[in-house]
Chains A and B, each alone.
Chain A
Amino acid sequence: MKGLNIIVLAKQVPDTRNVGKDAMKANGTVNRAALPAIFNPEDLLALEQALRLKDRHEGSQVTVVTMGPVRAANILRDALFRGADKGVLITDKKFAGSDTLATSYVLSRALQKLAPFDIILCGRQAIDGDTAQVGPQVAEKLKIPQITYVEEILAVSKQKITARRRMGNGMETLQGKLPLLLTVHGAAPACRTRNARRLMKYKHACTPSEMSHQREDYIRMHEHRHYLDLTEWNVNDLQAEEAYLGLYGSPTKVNAVTNIVFTARESKVLAPTDEAINALMAELVEHHTVG
């Protein structure tokens, strides 16, 4: 069997696990600049699944695709350090404000340009939105089957893929015809670390937009090292219809954003002494809260 053409969809996300107060803009969109930008955790797990397939199937190629601002190229470089072969950045101001449906349209246009592919992998969901929608929406736009919540790819052979998925209440092993899209669940194994040799090789990889800010000698270095070129596509490259893009092309709109305010309870503070804990337990038993 010849190698597989594997594509990983990845997103650079603000690290929502540590959000300060000034992270939201007045219009309800996220002020990403206020937070550290990281490789979406489950997308890294998807990359690992892709790299494992590449290890098992000689001649395979792993391409990482991301849509976002120019600085999202950082996660493409990160992917190259970890073992990916190519990076594609999809960037255009016209994409700003896209909801999941508009995003899936743009990604599906890019994927059509990268066809024929065998396997598309992405994280189950991104930590900034937690929607888990983009993967299945892309699969539908491409009219290919999907397996979501995947924990492990068990085998690929004869144009078929077998994968185990984790649902809320159990596990399922599914087999489907290629090409197929898989979304990878948080329970999947962690991604391998950056490889020192690859880091040296690819640290200067950049997109044409990034290149335009570089000095001449840097540009000359790139002329001889095409592996350092990251692909960059905009609306025109994708021949995307503007009616489906950005805020305008997004059927869902933000009506309001509110901060969560919890009503504080009247709390009794207890010292960790035997007496205090015994009294509390006695009260719980008496009121049938426990027992």
Chain B
Amino acid sequence: MNNVFIYCETEAGRPAEVSLEILTKGRHLAHQIKAKLEVIVLGHKLKGIEDELFAYGADIVHLGDHKHLAPYLTLPHAAVVAGIFAREKPRIGLFGATAIGRDLAPRVSSRLNCGLTADCTELVIGDHYDKKQKKTYQDLLLQRRPAFGGNIIATIVTPDTLPQLATVREGVMKKEKCTRVKKGKVVNIKVDDFVDREALAVSIIERHIEKKEVNLKNANIIVAGGYGMGSKEDFNLLYELAEVLGGDVGASRAAVDAGFEIHDRQIGQTGLTVRPKLYIACGISGQIQHTAGMDKSAMVIAINNDPHAPINKLADYVITGDVARVIPKMIKYYKEHTK
């Protein structure tokens, strides 16, 4: 009762990065409200996974190991998670804002009729004053998220229903192991109690997981292009620079909308959040939609024709000029002066 619950995604039998990030955040939240941290992890052949979860602070691991639970399908996972929530009555329930978490969490919220906030980038415990009722709610989960196309940050609360549910953006919370690891408790879920025939109405015919072809999240150097690049072909130059520097290529939403790049490379409010060592923004004007996803980069170089582009305010170095002329110079210098 009243604990903090994390839904843990798995990748090849291990906890997903995003889940460990949320576990770390969940541990701090649980500490603050003097609650326990519980994890639900569902899949097949998960032997030993609990140790990794204990290392990140889980007090209790609810483990569902069953052939119907891997790979992920909406209905069996929703049935188990909603069933456990209904029984354990958590105070907070957190999911990754991934293709899985965003598929599952709304289903759970709808079944339990409780509030859900999508794509949170910050979670803190705090009070909420309701002006109409003249009532203060204490120790609620304040759920912060970019809203309205990334132009504002909204703080959302769920005052009257439990659990307070949220999905959390990938890559924005820091994952950190506990300094002192305690061995927690494992509760084996009786999966058949929750998953009936109807939960198997959808089946997987084919599955193709790309071995992280696009792995921008972990790239140290990102060369990103915007609408100002002009065309898909002009992105080749960015790939050339990225390859020379050992980085990867990203894009703004405007560039993706225009068809210059695929959605997997989109950086910003509706794409990825990245924090590389070096971010080279080429032909990007710097709408908040985009900068929300890259403003934590250690160093930013902006290359743009427009001396007044908003991105320039965020940049450590601004090169006012034509991308097509500047980048070849960078490549040339780098090739001549290294190795």
Contacts and interface: CB of A to CB of B under 8 A. Distances in A.
Nearest to A149: B99
B2 interface: no
B115 A140 contact: no
Interface in A248-286: 250-260, 262, 264-272, 274, 276-278, 280-282, 284-285
Nearest to B247: A290
Given A101-B113, A257-B155, A272 B314 contact: no
A280 B312 CA distance: 16
B318 A267 contact: yes
A253 B158 contact: yes
A265 B105 CA distance: 38
Given A132-B118, A145-B202, A255-B156, A170 B207 contact: yes
A108 to B, nearest CB: 9
A269 B117 CA distance: 41
- Chain B interface size, under 10 / 10 to 19 / 20 to 34 / 35 or more: 35 or more
A147 B130 CA distance: 37
A225 B317 CA distance: 64
Contacts of B325: 272
A17 B208 contact: no
- Secondary structure dominating the interface of A: mixed
B230 interface: no
B103 A148 contact: yes
Contacts of A177: 201-202
Interface string B289-328: 1011001001111100001000011111111111001100
A277 B289 contact: no
User: B117, B154, B207 — which one has the most chain A CB atoms within 10 A of its CB?
Assistant: B154
B329 A267 contact: no
A100 B156 CA distance: 13
Given A17-B149, A256-B155, A260-B153, A132 B106 contact: yes
Contacts of A16: 148-151
A131 B208 CA distance: 26
Contacts of A147: 74, 202
A215 B298 CA distance: 64
B316 to A, nearest CB: 6
Residue of B74, B99, B207, B318 with most partner-chain A CB within 10 A? B99
A28 interface: yes
B179 interface: no
Interface in A126-149: 127-141, 145-149
A23 interface: yes
Contacts of B10: none
B304 to A, nearest CB: 10
A250 B115 contact: yes
Contact of A257 (B102, B153, B269): B153
A212 interface: no
B210 A140 contact: no
A265 B314 contact: yes
B109 A285 contact: no
Given A272-B325, A277-B319, A282-B337, A145 B157 contact: no
Interface stretch (A78-86, A87-95, A161-169, A194-202): A161-169
A114 interface: no
B221 to A, nearest CB: 6
B111 interface: yes
Contact of A136 (B106, B130, B264): B106
A172 B202 contact: no
Contact of B109 (A24, A133, A282): A133
A264 B202 contact: no
Nearest to B100: A167
Interface string A174-191: 111100100001110000
Given A255-B142, A272-B322, A277-B333, A169 B156 contact: no
A251 B114 contact: yes
Contact of A253 (B156, B289, B329): B156
B32 interface: no
Given A99-B115, A258-B153, A265 B313 contact: yes
| 8 cross-chain pairs, A with B, having the tightest CB-CB distances, nearest first | A272-B321, A16-B149, A251-B115, A140-B110, A176-B202, A167-B99, A131-B118, A252-B115
21 contacts: A16-B151, A100-B116, A101-B114, A127-B149, A132-B102, A169-B210, A174-B202, A175-B205, A251-B160, A252-B115, A254-B154, A262-B291, A265-B300, A267-B302, A267-B313, A267-B318, A277-B330, A278-B329, A285-B338, A290-B221, A291-B334
Given A30-B148, A290-B246, 19 more contacts: A19-B149, A24-B152, A101-B109, A130-B119, A136-B104, A167-B99, A169-B210, A173-B205, A185-B263, A251-B158, A252-B157, A253-B128, A255-B156, A255-B157, A256-B154, A257-B147, A259-B151, A265-B313, A267-B316
